[in-house]
Chain A
Amino acid sequence: MRNVLVVFRREFAGYFTTPLAYVFLIVFLALAGALTFYIGNFFARGQDDLDPFFTFHPWLYLFLIPAISMRLWAEERKTGTVELLLTLPISVADAVVGKFLAAWAFTAVALVLTFPMWVTANVLGSPDNGVILAGYIGSLFMAGAFLAIGSCMSALTKNQVIAFVVACAACFLFTLSGTNLVLNFVEGWMPQVLVDAVASFSFLTHFNAIKKGVIDLRDVIFLGSLICLFLFANVVLVDLKKSA
Protein backbone atom coordinates (compact mmCIF):
# COMPACT_ATOMS: atom_id res chain seq x y z
CA MET A 1 0.00 0.00 0.00
CA ARG A 2 2.84 2.28 0.94
CA ASN A 3 4.54 1.50 -2.31
CA VAL A 4 1.40 2.36 -4.26
CA LEU A 5 1.49 5.79 -2.65
CA VAL A 6 5.18 6.29 -3.45
CA VAL A 7 4.56 5.52 -7.13
CA PHE A 8 1.37 7.59 -7.09
CA ARG A 9 3.14 10.65 -5.74
CA ARG A 10 5.94 10.48 -8.26
CA GLU A 11 3.61 9.96 -11.20
CA PHE A 12 1.13 12.63 -10.18
CA ALA A 13 3.85 15.24 -9.64
CA GLY A 14 5.35 14.19 -12.96
CA TYR A 15 2.23 15.33 -14.83
CA PHE A 16 2.76 18.87 -13.66
CA THR A 17 6.50 19.22 -14.25
CA THR A 18 6.04 19.21 -17.99
CA PRO A 19 3.63 21.13 -20.21
CA LEU A 20 1.60 17.91 -20.53
CA ALA A 21 -0.78 18.70 -17.72
CA TYR A 22 -1.43 22.26 -18.72
CA VAL A 23 -1.95 21.54 -22.41
CA PHE A 24 -4.29 18.69 -21.62
CA LEU A 25 -6.30 20.60 -19.07
CA ILE A 26 -6.74 23.62 -21.29
CA VAL A 27 -7.79 21.55 -24.28
CA PHE A 28 -10.13 19.40 -22.20
CA LEU A 29 -11.83 22.37 -20.61
CA ALA A 30 -12.09 24.30 -23.86
CA LEU A 31 -13.57 21.33 -25.69
CA ALA A 32 -15.95 20.50 -22.87
CA GLY A 33 -17.18 24.06 -22.89
CA ALA A 34 -17.46 24.31 -26.66
CA LEU A 35 -19.34 21.04 -26.91
CA THR A 36 -21.74 21.94 -24.13
CA PHE A 37 -22.61 25.44 -25.16
CA TYR A 38 -22.54 25.16 -28.94
CA ILE A 39 -23.20 21.61 -30.02
CA GLY A 40 -25.19 20.82 -26.90
CA ASN A 41 -27.31 23.93 -27.26
CA PHE A 42 -27.14 24.55 -23.58
CA PHE A 43 -28.79 27.96 -23.73
CA ALA A 44 -31.36 27.20 -26.39
CA ARG A 45 -32.56 24.21 -24.42
CA GLY A 46 -33.54 26.39 -21.53
CA GLN A 47 -33.16 23.63 -18.94
CA ASP A 48 -30.98 24.01 -15.90
CA ASP A 49 -29.55 20.54 -15.78
CA LEU A 50 -26.12 19.71 -17.11
CA ASP A 51 -27.25 17.00 -19.50
CA PRO A 52 -25.62 18.57 -22.58
CA PHE A 53 -22.38 18.81 -20.62
CA PHE A 54 -22.32 15.17 -19.53
CA THR A 55 -23.53 13.80 -22.86
CA PHE A 56 -20.24 14.60 -24.51
CA HIS A 57 -18.01 13.09 -21.85
CA PRO A 58 -17.70 9.66 -23.46
CA TRP A 59 -16.58 11.30 -26.71
CA LEU A 60 -14.17 13.64 -24.97
CA TYR A 61 -12.69 10.74 -23.05
CA LEU A 62 -12.46 8.64 -26.17
CA PHE A 63 -9.63 10.78 -27.49
CA LEU A 64 -8.25 12.55 -24.48
CA ILE A 65 -7.92 9.66 -22.04
CA PRO A 66 -5.78 7.52 -24.38
CA ALA A 67 -3.58 10.60 -24.71
CA ILE A 68 -2.93 10.36 -20.97
CA SER A 69 -2.69 6.60 -20.78
CA MET A 70 -0.48 6.04 -23.80
CA ARG A 71 2.65 7.07 -21.99
CA LEU A 72 2.01 5.13 -18.79
CA TRP A 73 3.97 2.05 -19.77
CA ALA A 74 5.10 2.63 -23.35
CA GLU A 75 7.31 5.56 -22.38
CA GLU A 76 8.92 3.66 -19.52
CA ARG A 77 9.78 0.85 -21.89
CA LYS A 78 11.10 3.21 -24.54
CA THR A 79 13.37 5.16 -22.20
CA GLY A 80 14.42 2.12 -20.21
CA THR A 81 13.20 3.46 -16.89
CA VAL A 82 10.99 0.40 -16.57
CA GLU A 83 14.18 -1.40 -15.67
CA LEU A 84 14.67 0.97 -12.73
CA LEU A 85 11.04 0.75 -11.66
CA LEU A 86 10.79 -3.01 -11.73
CA THR A 87 14.06 -3.63 -9.90
CA LEU A 88 12.88 -1.61 -6.92
CA PRO A 89 11.44 -3.68 -4.05
CA ILE A 90 7.87 -2.99 -5.14
CA SER A 91 5.57 -5.48 -6.80
CA VAL A 92 4.34 -5.07 -10.35
CA ALA A 93 0.82 -4.69 -8.98
CA ASP A 94 1.95 -1.78 -6.79
CA ALA A 95 3.44 -0.05 -9.81
CA VAL A 96 0.39 -0.66 -12.04
CA VAL A 97 -2.10 0.54 -9.43
CA GLY A 98 0.05 3.53 -8.47
CA LYS A 99 0.32 4.72 -12.05
CA PHE A 100 -3.37 4.14 -12.69
CA LEU A 101 -4.42 6.05 -9.59
CA ALA A 102 -2.18 8.96 -10.49
CA ALA A 103 -3.69 9.16 -13.98
CA TRP A 104 -7.18 8.88 -12.48
CA ALA A 105 -6.46 11.61 -9.98
CA PHE A 106 -5.24 13.81 -12.79
CA THR A 107 -8.47 13.19 -14.70
CA ALA A 108 -10.34 14.06 -11.51
CA VAL A 109 -8.49 17.37 -11.47
CA ALA A 110 -9.64 18.02 -15.03
CA LEU A 111 -13.23 17.21 -14.06
CA VAL A 112 -13.11 19.38 -10.96
CA LEU A 113 -11.90 22.27 -13.06
CA THR A 114 -15.18 22.18 -15.00
CA PHE A 115 -16.93 23.54 -11.91
CA PRO A 116 -17.73 26.83 -13.69
CA MET A 117 -20.35 24.85 -15.61
CA TRP A 118 -21.97 23.83 -12.37
CA VAL A 119 -21.82 27.37 -11.09
CA THR A 120 -23.36 28.62 -14.35
CA ALA A 121 -26.26 26.22 -14.03
CA ASN A 122 -26.86 27.36 -10.46
CA VAL A 123 -26.68 31.02 -11.37
CA LEU A 124 -29.06 30.65 -14.28
CA GLY A 125 -31.57 28.38 -12.59
CA SER A 126 -31.92 25.93 -9.73
CA PRO A 127 -30.77 22.53 -10.88
CA ASP A 128 -30.94 19.35 -8.90
CA ASN A 129 -27.41 19.34 -7.56
CA GLY A 130 -27.66 15.74 -6.47
CA VAL A 131 -28.19 14.69 -10.07
CA ILE A 132 -25.22 16.77 -11.16
CA LEU A 133 -23.04 15.30 -8.44
CA ALA A 134 -24.06 11.81 -9.51
CA GLY A 135 -23.20 12.76 -13.05
CA TYR A 136 -19.71 13.83 -12.02
CA ILE A 137 -19.13 10.65 -10.03
CA GLY A 138 -20.36 8.49 -12.87
CA SER A 139 -18.20 10.40 -15.33
CA LEU A 140 -15.20 9.87 -13.11
CA PHE A 141 -15.82 6.14 -12.99
CA MET A 142 -16.23 5.99 -16.72
CA ALA A 143 -12.96 7.87 -17.11
CA GLY A 144 -11.41 5.28 -14.84
CA ALA A 145 -12.64 2.54 -17.12
CA PHE A 146 -11.21 4.25 -20.19
CA LEU A 147 -7.93 4.72 -18.31
CA ALA A 148 -7.70 1.11 -17.25
CA ILE A 149 -8.17 0.01 -20.85
CA GLY A 150 -5.67 2.59 -22.07
CA SER A 151 -3.06 1.65 -19.47
CA CYS A 152 -3.38 -1.99 -20.46
CA MET A 153 -2.90 -1.14 -24.13
CA SER A 154 0.12 0.95 -23.22
CA ALA A 155 1.74 -2.11 -21.67
CA LEU A 156 1.51 -3.91 -24.99
CA THR A 157 4.01 -1.76 -26.83
CA LYS A 158 6.97 0.62 -26.67
CA ASN A 159 5.40 2.88 -29.24
CA GLN A 160 3.14 5.53 -27.73
CA VAL A 161 1.29 6.16 -30.98
CA ILE A 162 0.31 2.51 -31.24
CA ALA A 163 -0.75 2.58 -27.61
CA PHE A 164 -2.91 5.63 -28.30
CA VAL A 165 -4.58 4.26 -31.40
CA VAL A 166 -5.26 0.81 -29.97
CA ALA A 167 -6.64 2.34 -26.77
CA CYS A 168 -8.92 4.61 -28.80
CA ALA A 169 -10.15 1.66 -30.80
CA ALA A 170 -10.79 -0.47 -27.72
CA CYS A 171 -12.60 2.35 -25.92
CA PHE A 172 -14.62 3.04 -29.06
CA LEU A 173 -15.77 -0.56 -29.18
CA PHE A 174 -16.75 -0.52 -25.54
CA THR A 175 -18.54 2.78 -25.85
CA LEU A 176 -20.61 1.65 -28.77
CA SER A 177 -21.06 -2.02 -27.96
CA GLY A 178 -24.79 -1.51 -27.59
CA THR A 179 -25.23 -0.25 -31.08
CA ASN A 180 -25.44 -2.06 -34.39
CA LEU A 181 -21.90 -1.01 -35.24
CA VAL A 182 -20.58 -3.63 -32.85
CA LEU A 183 -23.55 -5.93 -32.50
CA ASN A 184 -23.73 -6.68 -36.22
CA PHE A 185 -20.37 -8.38 -35.86
CA VAL A 186 -21.56 -10.78 -33.25
CA GLU A 187 -25.26 -11.24 -33.96
CA GLY A 188 -24.84 -13.75 -36.73
CA TRP A 189 -22.87 -16.39 -34.93
CA MET A 190 -22.96 -15.83 -31.16
CA PRO A 191 -25.75 -17.18 -29.00
CA GLN A 192 -28.28 -14.52 -27.99
CA VAL A 193 -27.08 -14.65 -24.38
CA LEU A 194 -23.61 -13.57 -25.43
CA VAL A 195 -24.93 -10.92 -27.80
CA ASP A 196 -26.88 -9.46 -24.91
CA ALA A 197 -23.75 -9.60 -22.80
CA VAL A 198 -21.75 -7.70 -25.41
CA ALA A 199 -24.54 -5.14 -25.68
CA SER A 200 -24.50 -4.68 -21.92
CA PHE A 201 -20.84 -3.68 -22.01
CA SER A 202 -21.75 -0.42 -23.65
CA PHE A 203 -20.44 2.56 -21.77
CA LEU A 204 -23.07 4.71 -23.36
CA THR A 205 -25.90 2.61 -21.97
CA HIS A 206 -24.47 2.68 -18.47
CA PHE A 207 -23.55 6.30 -18.60
CA ASN A 208 -26.92 7.41 -19.93
CA ALA A 209 -28.46 6.10 -16.73
CA ILE A 210 -25.78 7.64 -14.53
CA LYS A 211 -25.99 11.11 -15.97
CA LYS A 212 -29.65 11.26 -15.19
CA GLY A 213 -28.63 10.92 -11.59
CA VAL A 214 -29.45 7.27 -11.24
CA ILE A 215 -26.47 5.41 -9.83
CA ASP A 216 -27.56 1.86 -10.30
CA LEU A 217 -25.46 -0.67 -8.42
CA ARG A 218 -25.14 -2.70 -11.60
CA ASP A 219 -23.48 0.19 -13.41
CA VAL A 220 -21.04 0.73 -10.57
CA ILE A 221 -20.23 -2.96 -10.45
CA PHE A 222 -19.80 -3.09 -14.20
CA LEU A 223 -17.40 -0.17 -14.36
CA GLY A 224 -15.61 -1.23 -11.19
CA SER A 225 -15.04 -4.77 -12.34
CA LEU A 226 -13.98 -3.60 -15.78
CA ILE A 227 -11.32 -1.44 -14.15
CA CYS A 228 -10.16 -4.35 -12.01
CA LEU A 229 -10.08 -6.69 -14.99
CA PHE A 230 -7.97 -4.42 -17.14
CA LEU A 231 -5.62 -3.59 -14.28
CA PHE A 232 -5.14 -7.29 -13.73
CA ALA A 233 -4.46 -7.76 -17.45
CA ASN A 234 -2.01 -4.87 -17.20
CA VAL A 235 -0.08 -6.63 -14.43
CA VAL A 236 -0.01 -9.84 -16.43
CA LEU A 237 1.27 -8.05 -19.53
CA VAL A 238 4.04 -6.27 -17.65
CA ASP A 239 5.04 -9.56 -16.05
CA LEU A 240 4.99 -11.32 -19.40
CA LYS A 241 7.50 -8.92 -20.86
CA LYS A 242 9.91 -10.14 -18.20
CA SER A 243 9.87 -13.60 -19.60
CA ALA A 244 9.90 -12.52 -23.21
Chain B
Amino acid sequence: MIEVQSLAKHFGPIVAVDDVSFTARPGEVVGFLGPNGAGKSTTMKMIVGFLAPSAGSAKVCGFDVAERPIEVKKRVGYLPEGAPLYADMTPASFLHFIAAARGFSGAELVERVETAVARTEIESVLDRPIETLSKGFKRRVGLAQALLHDPEVLILDEPTDGLDPNQKHEVRALIREMAPRKTIVISTHLLDEVSAVCSRAIVIAGGRLVADSTPAELEARSRLHNAVALTLRGVQAEVARLKLGALAGVASIEDLAADPGAVAFRVLPEAGRPIVAEVSQAALASGWQVEEIKVEQGQLDEVFRSITTSPAAGRG
Protein backbone atom coordinates (compact mmCIF):
# COMPACT_ATOMS: atom_id res chain seq x y z
CA MET B 1 0.00 0.00 0.00
CA ILE B 2 1.46 3.33 -1.07
CA GLU B 3 -0.04 6.67 -0.10
CA VAL B 4 1.44 9.76 -1.70
CA GLN B 5 0.15 13.16 -0.58
CA SER B 6 1.01 16.39 -2.38
CA LEU B 7 4.55 15.26 -3.01
CA ALA B 8 6.81 17.95 -4.43
CA LYS B 9 10.51 18.30 -5.20
CA HIS B 10 12.46 21.40 -6.13
CA PHE B 11 16.06 21.40 -7.28
CA GLY B 12 16.79 25.05 -6.75
CA PRO B 13 14.56 26.90 -9.22
CA ILE B 14 13.60 23.74 -11.10
CA VAL B 15 10.33 22.15 -10.09
CA ALA B 16 10.77 18.47 -10.76
CA VAL B 17 7.65 17.21 -9.04
CA ASP B 18 4.67 19.40 -8.34
CA ASP B 19 1.87 18.31 -6.02
CA VAL B 20 1.55 14.64 -6.94
CA SER B 21 -0.98 12.60 -4.96
CA PHE B 22 -2.21 9.06 -5.44
CA THR B 23 -2.83 5.83 -3.58
CA ALA B 24 -1.86 2.35 -4.72
CA ARG B 25 -3.28 -0.75 -3.08
CA PRO B 26 -2.21 -4.40 -2.96
CA GLY B 27 -3.24 -6.18 -6.13
CA GLU B 28 -2.70 -3.10 -8.26
CA VAL B 29 -0.03 -2.66 -10.86
CA VAL B 30 0.30 1.06 -11.37
CA GLY B 31 2.04 2.31 -14.48
CA PHE B 32 3.83 5.67 -14.39
CA LEU B 33 3.74 7.15 -17.84
CA GLY B 34 5.22 10.38 -18.97
CA PRO B 35 7.73 12.10 -21.19
CA ASN B 36 11.40 12.09 -20.27
CA GLY B 37 12.10 14.54 -17.51
CA ALA B 38 8.50 14.53 -16.36
CA GLY B 39 9.31 13.60 -12.80
CA LYS B 40 8.50 9.87 -12.74
CA SER B 41 11.89 8.72 -11.45
CA THR B 42 12.10 11.60 -8.99
CA THR B 43 8.71 10.65 -7.58
CA MET B 44 9.83 7.04 -7.22
CA LYS B 45 13.05 8.10 -5.50
CA MET B 46 11.04 10.02 -2.96
CA ILE B 47 8.68 7.14 -2.28
CA VAL B 48 11.64 4.85 -1.70
CA GLY B 49 13.48 7.26 0.57
CA PHE B 50 16.47 8.04 -1.60
CA LEU B 51 15.49 11.70 -2.01
CA ALA B 52 13.86 13.85 0.62
CA PRO B 53 10.72 15.63 -0.64
CA SER B 54 10.57 19.41 -0.66
CA ALA B 55 6.93 19.16 0.39
CA GLY B 56 4.26 16.54 0.95
CA SER B 57 4.59 13.02 2.26
CA ALA B 58 4.78 9.44 1.14
CA LYS B 59 3.67 6.46 3.20
CA VAL B 60 4.45 2.86 2.44
CA CYS B 61 2.54 0.15 4.31
CA GLY B 62 1.55 2.78 6.83
CA PHE B 63 5.09 3.98 7.52
CA ASP B 64 6.02 7.54 6.62
CA VAL B 65 9.21 7.53 4.58
CA ALA B 66 10.57 10.64 6.27
CA GLU B 67 9.96 9.35 9.79
CA ARG B 68 10.56 5.59 9.53
CA PRO B 69 12.76 5.14 6.44
CA ILE B 70 14.28 1.82 7.50
CA GLU B 71 10.83 0.25 7.96
CA VAL B 72 9.88 1.42 4.49
CA LYS B 73 13.07 0.11 2.94
CA LYS B 74 12.53 -3.30 4.49
CA ARG B 75 9.21 -3.59 2.71
CA VAL B 76 10.14 -2.20 -0.68
CA GLY B 77 11.95 -3.83 -3.57
CA TYR B 78 13.42 -1.09 -5.74
CA LEU B 79 14.92 -1.20 -9.19
CA PRO B 80 16.55 2.20 -9.79
CA GLU B 81 16.62 3.95 -13.14
CA GLY B 82 19.39 2.54 -15.29
CA ALA B 83 19.70 -0.53 -13.04
CA PRO B 84 22.99 0.50 -11.36
CA LEU B 85 25.04 -2.41 -10.11
CA TYR B 86 28.49 -3.01 -8.61
CA ALA B 87 30.38 -3.65 -11.81
CA ASP B 88 33.23 -5.73 -10.44
CA MET B 89 31.05 -8.16 -8.52
CA THR B 90 29.47 -11.24 -10.02
CA PRO B 91 25.66 -11.59 -9.90
CA ALA B 92 26.15 -14.37 -7.34
CA SER B 93 28.25 -12.30 -4.94
CA PHE B 94 26.12 -9.23 -5.56
CA LEU B 95 22.90 -11.04 -4.68
CA HIS B 96 24.59 -12.53 -1.62
CA PHE B 97 25.49 -9.04 -0.47
CA ILE B 98 21.98 -7.67 -0.99
CA ALA B 99 20.43 -10.68 0.73
CA ALA B 100 22.78 -10.27 3.69
CA ALA B 101 21.98 -6.57 3.86
CA ARG B 102 18.30 -7.49 3.92
CA GLY B 103 18.86 -9.59 7.00
CA PHE B 104 19.07 -13.10 5.59
CA SER B 105 21.79 -15.57 6.45
CA GLY B 106 22.73 -19.20 6.10
CA ALA B 107 20.44 -21.61 4.31
CA GLU B 108 17.65 -19.07 4.00
CA LEU B 109 19.95 -16.65 2.21
CA VAL B 110 20.99 -19.29 -0.29
CA GLU B 111 17.39 -20.28 -0.89
CA ARG B 112 16.26 -16.70 -1.42
CA VAL B 113 19.05 -16.03 -3.87
CA GLU B 114 18.24 -19.21 -5.79
CA THR B 115 14.57 -18.28 -6.02
CA ALA B 116 15.32 -14.81 -7.32
CA VAL B 117 17.83 -16.21 -9.81
CA ALA B 118 15.27 -18.72 -11.07
CA ARG B 119 12.55 -16.13 -11.47
CA THR B 120 14.73 -13.78 -13.44
CA GLU B 121 16.50 -16.58 -15.33
CA ILE B 122 20.06 -15.42 -14.80
CA GLU B 123 21.56 -18.84 -13.99
CA SER B 124 23.80 -18.75 -17.03
CA VAL B 125 25.61 -15.56 -16.03
CA LEU B 126 25.90 -16.02 -12.28
CA ASP B 127 29.68 -16.10 -12.15
CA ARG B 128 30.61 -13.50 -14.70
CA PRO B 129 31.59 -9.98 -13.60
CA ILE B 130 28.59 -7.74 -13.95
CA GLU B 131 30.43 -5.27 -16.16
CA THR B 132 30.72 -7.97 -18.84
CA LEU B 133 26.98 -8.64 -18.99
CA SER B 134 24.64 -7.36 -21.67
CA LYS B 135 22.19 -4.60 -20.84
CA GLY B 136 19.32 -7.07 -20.66
CA PHE B 137 21.07 -9.33 -18.19
CA LYS B 138 22.15 -6.38 -16.07
CA ARG B 139 18.56 -5.30 -15.81
CA ARG B 140 17.51 -8.79 -14.82
CA VAL B 141 20.14 -8.85 -12.09
CA GLY B 142 18.74 -5.55 -10.89
CA LEU B 143 15.27 -7.05 -10.90
CA ALA B 144 16.53 -10.10 -9.00
CA GLN B 145 17.89 -7.96 -6.17
CA ALA B 146 14.52 -6.20 -5.93
CA LEU B 147 12.74 -9.54 -5.57
CA LEU B 148 15.12 -11.17 -3.09
CA HIS B 149 13.13 -10.45 0.04
CA ASP B 150 9.72 -10.99 -1.58
CA PRO B 151 8.62 -7.48 -0.63
CA GLU B 152 5.05 -6.25 -0.27
CA VAL B 153 5.81 -3.29 -2.49
CA LEU B 154 7.78 -3.25 -5.73
CA ILE B 155 8.93 -0.03 -7.33
CA LEU B 156 10.51 -0.70 -10.71
CA ASP B 157 11.91 2.06 -12.85
CA GLU B 158 11.71 0.88 -16.48
CA PRO B 159 11.97 -2.84 -15.70
CA THR B 160 11.94 -3.99 -19.33
CA ASP B 161 14.27 -1.36 -20.77
CA GLY B 162 16.88 -3.02 -22.97
CA LEU B 163 15.27 -6.45 -22.90
CA ASP B 164 14.55 -8.32 -26.10
CA PRO B 165 10.87 -9.05 -26.91
CA ASN B 166 11.00 -12.52 -25.36
CA GLN B 167 12.56 -11.25 -22.16
CA LYS B 168 10.07 -8.38 -22.05
CA HIS B 169 7.29 -10.90 -22.30
CA GLU B 170 8.71 -12.95 -19.45
CA VAL B 171 9.28 -10.02 -17.14
CA ARG B 172 5.74 -8.80 -17.80
CA ALA B 173 4.42 -12.28 -17.07
CA LEU B 174 6.42 -12.29 -13.84
CA ILE B 175 4.95 -8.94 -12.83
CA ARG B 176 1.44 -10.12 -13.59
CA GLU B 177 2.02 -13.27 -11.61
CA MET B 178 3.21 -11.35 -8.55
CA ALA B 179 0.55 -8.65 -8.80
CA PRO B 180 -2.22 -10.20 -6.70
CA ARG B 181 0.01 -10.35 -3.62
CA LYS B 182 1.82 -7.06 -3.97
CA THR B 183 1.53 -3.38 -4.70
CA ILE B 184 3.58 -2.74 -7.82
CA VAL B 185 4.54 0.56 -9.41
CA ILE B 186 6.41 0.49 -12.68
CA SER B 187 7.47 3.33 -14.88
CA THR B 188 7.58 2.89 -18.59
CA HIS B 189 7.67 4.62 -21.92
CA LEU B 190 6.08 1.64 -23.65
CA LEU B 191 2.38 2.14 -24.01
CA ASP B 192 1.76 -1.45 -24.95
CA GLU B 193 3.36 -2.41 -21.66
CA VAL B 194 0.77 -0.32 -19.86
CA SER B 195 -2.04 -2.20 -21.55
CA ALA B 196 -0.33 -5.55 -21.05
CA VAL B 197 0.58 -5.27 -17.41
CA CYS B 198 -0.98 -2.35 -15.59
CA SER B 199 -4.32 -2.18 -13.89
CA ARG B 200 -3.94 1.56 -13.61
CA ALA B 201 -2.10 4.25 -15.51
CA ILE B 202 -0.85 7.48 -14.00
CA VAL B 203 0.40 10.03 -16.47
CA ILE B 204 2.94 12.55 -15.22
CA ALA B 205 4.01 15.51 -17.29
CA GLY B 206 5.92 18.60 -16.26
CA GLY B 207 6.06 17.29 -12.71
CA ARG B 208 2.29 17.16 -12.43
CA LEU B 209 -0.13 14.28 -12.40
CA VAL B 210 -2.31 14.80 -15.47
CA ALA B 211 -4.22 11.52 -15.60
CA ASP B 212 -4.98 8.65 -13.24
CA SER B 213 -7.27 5.94 -14.60
CA THR B 214 -7.31 2.43 -16.02
CA PRO B 215 -5.65 1.90 -19.39
CA ALA B 216 -9.08 1.28 -20.91
CA GLU B 217 -10.41 4.58 -19.63
CA LEU B 218 -7.34 6.34 -20.97
CA GLU B 219 -7.85 4.79 -24.38
CA ALA B 220 -11.45 5.95 -24.31
CA ARG B 221 -10.22 9.52 -24.03
CA SER B 222 -8.78 9.23 -27.48
CA ARG B 223 -10.76 10.93 -30.19
CA LEU B 224 -10.13 7.79 -32.20
CA HIS B 225 -11.87 5.59 -29.68
CA ASN B 226 -14.73 3.69 -31.28
CA ALA B 227 -13.98 5.29 -34.63
CA VAL B 228 -14.96 3.15 -37.60
CA ALA B 229 -12.48 2.65 -40.43
CA LEU B 230 -14.34 1.80 -43.59
CA THR B 231 -13.28 0.80 -47.10
CA LEU B 232 -15.98 0.92 -49.76
CA ARG B 233 -16.35 0.10 -53.42
CA GLY B 234 -19.00 1.07 -55.84
CA VAL B 235 -19.63 4.55 -54.54
CA GLN B 236 -18.27 8.02 -55.10
CA ALA B 237 -16.19 9.50 -52.31
CA GLU B 238 -18.30 12.65 -52.14
CA VAL B 239 -21.57 10.77 -51.90
CA ALA B 240 -20.33 8.45 -49.18
CA ARG B 241 -18.86 11.27 -47.21
CA LEU B 242 -22.06 13.26 -47.25
CA LYS B 243 -24.16 10.29 -46.28
CA LEU B 244 -21.89 9.21 -43.44
CA GLY B 245 -21.48 12.74 -42.15
CA ALA B 246 -25.20 13.09 -41.84
CA LEU B 247 -25.56 10.14 -39.48
CA ALA B 248 -26.46 10.79 -35.87
CA GLY B 249 -23.52 10.66 -33.48
CA VAL B 250 -20.86 11.27 -36.11
CA ALA B 251 -18.43 14.07 -35.28
CA SER B 252 -16.38 14.12 -38.47
CA ILE B 253 -15.06 12.08 -41.38
CA GLU B 254 -11.38 11.65 -42.26
CA ASP B 255 -10.14 10.42 -45.60
CA LEU B 256 -7.82 7.44 -45.59
CA ALA B 257 -5.59 6.13 -48.37
CA ALA B 258 -7.27 3.46 -50.51
CA ASP B 259 -6.59 1.26 -53.52
CA PRO B 260 -7.72 2.64 -56.90
CA GLY B 261 -11.41 2.11 -57.29
CA ALA B 262 -12.12 2.11 -53.60
CA VAL B 263 -12.67 4.85 -51.06
CA ALA B 264 -11.71 4.71 -47.40
CA PHE B 265 -12.78 6.82 -44.47
CA ARG B 266 -12.40 7.04 -40.73
CA VAL B 267 -15.69 8.00 -39.16
CA LEU B 268 -15.11 9.73 -35.85
CA PRO B 269 -17.81 9.53 -33.21
CA GLU B 270 -18.99 12.21 -30.86
CA ALA B 271 -17.81 11.59 -27.31
CA GLY B 272 -16.37 8.18 -28.18
CA ARG B 273 -19.81 6.56 -28.49
CA PRO B 274 -20.01 3.37 -30.53
CA ILE B 275 -21.37 4.10 -33.99
CA VAL B 276 -20.46 0.97 -35.87
CA ALA B 277 -24.10 -0.16 -35.98
CA GLU B 278 -25.28 3.07 -37.61
CA VAL B 279 -22.42 3.12 -40.07
CA SER B 280 -22.84 -0.48 -41.17
CA GLN B 281 -26.59 -0.08 -41.49
CA ALA B 282 -26.12 3.03 -43.61
CA ALA B 283 -23.68 1.24 -45.86
CA LEU B 284 -26.02 -1.72 -46.31
CA ALA B 285 -29.07 0.41 -46.91
CA SER B 286 -27.25 2.45 -49.57
CA GLY B 287 -26.10 -0.70 -51.33
CA TRP B 288 -22.42 0.06 -51.01
CA GLN B 289 -19.95 -2.78 -51.25
CA VAL B 290 -18.16 -2.85 -47.91
CA GLU B 291 -14.65 -4.21 -48.43
CA GLU B 292 -13.42 -3.66 -44.90
CA ILE B 293 -14.93 -2.34 -41.70
CA LYS B 294 -13.08 -2.01 -38.40
CA VAL B 295 -13.79 -0.47 -35.01
CA GLU B 296 -10.70 1.25 -33.64
CA GLN B 297 -9.56 1.15 -30.04
CA GLY B 298 -8.27 4.45 -28.76
CA GLN B 299 -4.60 4.88 -29.44
CA LEU B 300 -2.81 5.29 -26.16
CA ASP B 301 0.09 7.10 -27.75
CA GLU B 302 -2.30 9.65 -29.19
CA VAL B 303 -3.93 10.20 -25.79
CA PHE B 304 -0.49 10.38 -24.24
CA ARG B 305 0.63 12.98 -26.73
CA SER B 306 -2.43 15.10 -26.32
CA ILE B 307 -2.41 15.17 -22.54
CA THR B 308 1.33 15.57 -22.14
CA THR B 309 1.84 18.28 -24.68
CA SER B 310 -1.18 20.37 -23.80
CA PRO B 311 -0.53 23.78 -22.17
CA ALA B 312 -1.66 22.44 -18.79
CA ALA B 313 1.11 19.88 -18.82
CA GLY B 314 3.88 21.80 -20.32
CA ARG B 315 6.87 23.00 -18.46
CA GLY B 316 8.86 20.03 -18.97
Contact = CB atoms under 8 A, between A and B. Distances in A.
A45 interface: no
A7 to B, nearest CB: 8
B50 A90 contact: no
Contact of A242 (B52, B76, B81): B52
A31 interface: no
Contacts of B86: 10, 14, 81, 84
Given A6-B101, A87-B80, A90-B101, A242 B88 contact: no
B180 interface: no
6 contacts: A2-B103, A14-B86, A18-B88, A80-B84, A90-B70, A242-B51
Interface stretch (B92-100, B191-199, B222-230, B294-302): B92-100
Given A83-B45, A86-B50, A243-B52, 5 more contacts: A10-B86, A14-B88, A17-B88, A81-B84, A84-B98
Contacts of B234: none
A87 B84 contact: no
Interface in A75-126: 79-81, 83-84, 86-91
A87 B85 contact: no
A14 B101 contact: no
A43 B50 CA distance: 57
Contacts of B51: 242-243
Contacts of A14: 86, 88-89
A55 to B, nearest CB: 36
Q: Per DSSP, are chain A's interface residues mostly helix, strand or loop, or mixed?
A: helix
Interface residues on B, range: 20 to 34
Interface in A215-244: 242-244
A80 B88 contact: no
B102 interface: yes
Interface in B122-144: none
Interface in B59-94: 70, 73-74, 76, 78, 80-82, 84-89, 93
Nearest first, the 8 closest Cβ-Cβ pairs linking A and B are A80-B84, A89-B73, A243-B52, A89-B74, A83-B80, A6-B100, A88-B101, A10-B97
A157 interface: no
Contacts of A200: none
Interface in B142-177: 145
A13 interface: yes
B175 to A, nearest CB: 19
B26 interface: no
A3 interface: yes
Contacts of B101: 3, 6-7, 88-90
Interface in A22-60: none
Given A88-B102, A244-B11, A17 B45 contact: no
Contacts of A17: 88-89
B49 interface: yes
B85 A84 contact: yes
B268 interface: no
A198 B74 CA distance: 45
Given A6-B101, A10-B97, A89-B70, A84 B11 contact: no
B278 to A, nearest CB: 55
Nearest to B93: A13
B70 A87 contact: no
A244 B97 CA distance: 28
B88 A79 contact: no
B234 to A, nearest CB: 63
A87 B48 contact: yes
B50 A242 contact: yes
A14 B97 CA distance: 11
Given A18-B88, A244-B11, A88 B73 contact: yes
Contact of B76 (A2, A87, A90): A87
A86 B69 CA distance: 10
Contacts of B45: 83
Nearest to A18: B88
B93 to A, nearest CB: 7
The residue among A3, A89, A242 with the most chain B CB atoms within 10 A of its own CB is A89
Contacts of B98: 84, 88
B103 A89 contact: yes
Nearest to A20: B88
A146 B45 CA distance: 33
B48 to A, nearest CB: 5
A84 B76 contact: no
B50 A87 contact: yes
A87 B97 contact: no
The residue among A7, A87, A90, A242 with the most chain B CB atoms within 10 A of its own CB is A87
B145 A87 contact: no
A18 B11 CA distance: 36
